[in-house]
Amino acid sequence: MRSVSKAIEARSPQGIASGIARLITTGDLAPGDRLPTVRELAIDLGVSPATVSHAWQTLASAGLITSRGRSGSFVRSVPREWLPRRYRDLGGAQEARLDLSRGTPDPELLPALGPALSRVSARADTASYQQLPDIPELHDLMRSTWPSPVESITVTNGALDAIDRALSTIARFGDRVAVENPTFPPFMDLLEQYGLEPVPVPVDEQGMMPQEFARALAAGPTMIVLQPRAHNPTGVSMSPGRAQELASLLHRSRNAEHAVVIEDDHSGSISSAPDVTLATWLPERVLHVRSFSKSHGPDLRIGALGGPRALIDRVVARRLLGPGWTSRMMQAILYELLTDPDSVAQVEAARDRYAERQRELAAAVRLQGASLRPGDGVNAWLRVNDERSAMVQLAASGIRVAPGAPFQLGEPGGFVRVTVGMVRDDIATVGAALAAAARA
């Protein structure tokens, strides 16, 4: 206990929480270690038990410690073993006044399902095994709204399902894959699962940086995985000019002359940026993924994969030996949502609202002397002096954000991801808290 108390420089709840957080970060306190009791530490520090209790609540909200009742409080072990490695620790287990850690859409901005459900058949289709995987009307609508002419499209169970199936069709153990840095943590888990080597490519305000992309191509990747719009975690969207520049570099590369691009347009209709794809210039080498989770609801579990017929046919054939197809009842519901004027208007209003929240929160952070670039979609990337200290300070204010380390390849820098799309009100207070955390 003496070593714990010596690490605490300030006797306030925030100071106690920060001291314990530093011990966890350095490894002096390991997962599973038991912490002093509230009473013991209060006596040792000469503070009230309420002060220590408040510090413990802050650490629990930040996901750093957990309580086991009368057994005491412990440094949190790796949670939920069924989760892929980088999914773990993206958010704490404790409740927060405002949870900005999850990267999910605001449920209040999703279109109402009732009218669509009322127009879908109440009986299940019993001829499903012999039918085409996609219902024709949804397939035709997808094709008419795709960002470039496409040979073939198939419906999948969300964007990550589409990317997983594309990788399983193309990847060979040991292949290199160029991927944005930072990027969506499950991408890295998928690459690891297939024995693939990531080649990180830094991003700027327009997407993958051309000079760094050229270096990655020199390493001979067989695939490139990128997010053309509302990049998770930074909120950056690729400009048409940048897309053309990357396509040109790939076209000229001798080391990656057969590399396939997988594009994850996960935010789709709630993105404010133009719908861009490298397939405009390289149609034979691009698999484009469109998701409806953030615009119409994650539990619909519907995405679409489009690209060269030869590759899409391989994905469809392999899928028929597993889940077979995406529920045609769910496809019918999505079709109704995509064509009903009221539902379309609700999604357009959500897109505008997310953009407004991004602008307002960025302005509130700037007003307090820090910097937050407005992102596209629901997320933004906040630079902080110290990730752990920032998360602890925000937890003390009842706000949870996602740590930046799981999103980064190599040595992580000081960032946290903020799900701006969930900031409905009190934007000035949230902005002030983020600015203070950035300086912590």
Q: In this predicted structure, what is the pLDDT of residue 11?
A: 85
Those residues whose C-beta lies under 8 Å from the C-beta of residue 370, and which sit 6 or more positions away, are 434, 435, 438, 439
Judge if 331 and 211 occupy the same domain: yes
Tokens matching residue 339: 């064509």
- Could you tell me if residue 161 is inside a domain? yes
% residues pLDDT > 90 (the chain): 64
- Could you tell me if residue 422 is inside a domain? yes
Judge if 310 and 352 occupy the same domain: no
Domain that holds residue 390: 85-109+343-439
Q: In this predicted structure, what is the pLDDT of residue 202?
A: 97
Judge if 354 and 389 occupy the same domain: yes
Task: Quickly tell me which residue has 């902080």 as its tokens.
Answer: 384
Q: How far apart are CA 153 and CA 59, in angstroms?
A: 47
- Is the pLDDT at 412 greater than 90, yes or no? no
Judge if 166 and 298 occupy the same domain: yes
Mean pLDDT along residues 373-397: 93
How large is the angle between the packed helices 159-170 and 309-319, nearest 10 degrees? 100
Kind of pairing between the strands at 415-419 and 399-403: antiparallel
Question: Around 390, how many Cα atoms within 13 Å sit in the side-chain half-sphere?
Answer: 23
Judge if 90 and 141 occupy the same domain: no
Q: How far apart are CA 222 and CA 101, in angstroms?
A: 33
Judge if 105 and 119 occupy the same domain: no
How large is the angle between the packed helices 341-367 and 427-439, nearest 10 degrees? 50
CA 283 to each of CA 177, 179, 365: distance values in angstroms, whole numbers, following the listed order: 19, 20, 41
CA 439 to each of CA 324, 413, 420: distance values in angstroms, whole numbers, following the listed order: 51, 14, 19
Judge if 294 and 363 occupy the same domain: no
Judge if 133 and 160 occupy the same domain: yes
Q: In this predicted structure, what is the pLDDT of residue 437?
A: 95
- Is the pLDDT at 263 greater than 70, yes or no? yes
The CATH number of residue 316's host domain is: 3.40.640.10
Task: List the one residue out of 316, 312, 334, 313 whose CA is nearest residue 324.
Answer: 316
The CATH number of residue 20's host domain is: 1.10.10.10
- Could you tell me if residue 94 is inside a domain? yes
SS3 (DSSP) at 346:
helix
- Could you tell me if residue 80 is inside a domain? no
Q: How far apart are CA 405 and CA 437, in angstroms?
A: 16
- Could you tell me if residue 48 is inside a domain? yes
- Could you tell me if residue 266 is inside a domain? yes
Tell me which of 316, 341, 366 is where a domain ends.
341
Judge if 155 and 215 occupy the same domain: yes
Per mean pLDDT, which range of 114-123, 311-320, 328-337 is the poorest? Answer: 114-123
- Looking at the structure of the chain, the number of domains it has is 3
- Could you read off the pLDDT of 193-246 as tens digits, one per residue? 889 999 999 999 999 999 999 999 999 999 999 999 999 999 999 999 999 999
Per mean pLDDT, which range of 60-64, 227-231, 326-330 is the poorest? Answer: 60-64
Task: List the one residue out of 341, 263, 275, 274 whose CA is nearest residue 303.
Answer: 263
Those residues whose C-beta lies under 8 Å from the C-beta of residue 28, and which sit 6 or more positions away, are 3, 7
Residue type, 118: S
Judge if 396 and 418 occupy the same domain: yes
The CATH number of residue 347's host domain is: 3.90.1150.10
Judge if 184 and 38 occupy the same domain: no
Q: How far apart are CA 5 and CA 25, in angstroms?
A: 16
| Confidence bin at 128 (pLDDT 50/70/90) | low
Tell me which of 56, 75, 94 is where a domain ends.
75
Judge if 259 and 354 occupy the same domain: no
- Could you tell me if residue 301 is inside a domain? yes
Q: Is the model more confident about 155 or about 2? A: 155
- Could you tell me if residue 142 is inside a domain? yes
Tell me which of 341, 372, 397 is where a domain ends.
341
Cα 346 to chain centroid, rounded? 23
- Could you read off the pLDDT of 266-277 as tens digits, one per residue? 999 999 999 999
